[in-house]
């Protein structure tokens, strides 16, 4: 596996969406190629940041109250 092929599967790998064979090939490449390893680490930080920033928001209590009223009349 070369660097281009490895980076192509960057997010699939970080999302745990690769087959076991592909995962093994990527891990092997990352061990042998520090620049790709750094890039994967950087992207992992980015995804973690995105998730942390976006998941906090929830539905307003008023919406929930209105919904229960509409659904069950209470």
| Residues forming the site for another protein (CB under 8 A) | 10-12, 15, 17, 35, 38-39, 41-43, 45-47, 49-51, 53-60, 63-64, 66-67, 70-72
CA 63/CA 38 separation, integer angstroms: 44
Which CB atom, from 21 or from 72, has the smaller least distance to another protein?
A: 72
Burial of residue 13 (number of CB atoms within 10 Å: 0-12, 13-18, 19+): buried
Contact 26, 6 (CB under 8 A): yes
Q: How far is the CB of 5 from another protein (least distance, A)?
A: 14
Nearer to another protein among residue 20 and residue 57 (C-beta): 57
């Amino acid at each position: 596996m070369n660097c281009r092929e490895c980076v192509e599967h960057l997010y699939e790998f970080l999302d745990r969406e690769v087959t076991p064979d592909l995962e093994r090939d990527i891990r092997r490449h990352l061990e042998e190629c520090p620049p790709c390893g750094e890039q994967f680490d950087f992207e992992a930080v980015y995804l973690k940041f995105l998730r942390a920033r976006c998941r906090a928001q929830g539905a307003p209590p008023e919406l929930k109250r209105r919904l229960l009223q509409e659904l069950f009349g209470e």
